Amino acid sequence: MRVSDQLKIIFLGTGAAAPSLTRGLPALAIRRQGKIILCDCGEGTQLRLMQAGLSPSKIHTICLSHLHGDHIFGLPGFLTSQQLFGRHAPLTITGPPGLSAYIETIAQISKYTLDYPVKVVELSPDTTSNFRIDQFIVTAKNLRHSSTCLGYRFHEAEKPGKFDAIRADQLGIPPGPQRRHLQHGESIQIENRQIDPGDVVGPSIPGRVITYCTDTRPCAAAVELAQNCDVLIHDSTFSDLYADRAEPTWHSTSREAATLAQEAGVGTLALWHLSIRIQAEEETALLAQARQVFAHTILPNDLDELLVPRRREPH
């Protein structure tokens, strides 16, 4: 795969509620062609970005799931550091209602101003939101948590199929603008003959899909967001040992996440948001319990990376 075509997930913080020596608080980077979308911004995110070799200036959008502290307490520091370093590039931040008030209150109390453009988009929990971020169509839905918590589906735009230069020569299409029109999906006329894109351009290459569902009970919204995705990052706060805590705290076990992944037909399940109760030996059991249900399950550590491959069939 060409570097320019790579779609990569960097797991910055994979823990929950409070940091541990091995797992930081939730933050995840989606990197494509050098540009970065950040999902959540827990305390310590800036440090993890540096350790991962990621430039904060390349982050153009931050998608926040909800307003619990472990997911947003890294945001004020990120915003002010970008001001300190002279950022000029615009930044978009999406999240649930209350996000604007949170940012404004911190700014007022801390007496800081931001000279670079920051656009805050509050998404309604009562409807499905659809919007575009760079080369992704993004869908957001409310999950099942103790507060409004948004899950996100990032669907990369499809790529045009391969242009058949030999066939174009046979059809008498000269190099230049007419070939570009065909590559852009437009028909052309040559000597009173219509040539359609399908005559010289192969099938479109489907875009890849990443779904991010943190802090949730298994629910229909998560299944819809995860349907046939390439990678599902899903709340797996507890192992079977602590299963009795999952429902009252509005979280999921790794086994429940695996069951949902199987139902949704995903490619790979990444277990996410591990409780600080889960020690190293219990992590092995947590992963094994998920794999009993869904074999294509991984348990990322902080700073692990996952390259998302292209699938040839449509989603």
Classify strands 91-95 and 59-63 as parallel, antiparallel or unpaired: parallel
Rounded Cα distance between 238 and 255, Å, is 9
Query: What single letter denotes the amino acid at residue 228?
Result: N
Distances (CA, A) of 3 to 31, 229, 261, 294: 11, 22, 29, 30
Catalytic residue list contains 304: no
Q: Of the listed 70, 215, 230, 302, which one is catalytic?
A: 70
Residue positions annotated with a catalytic role: 70
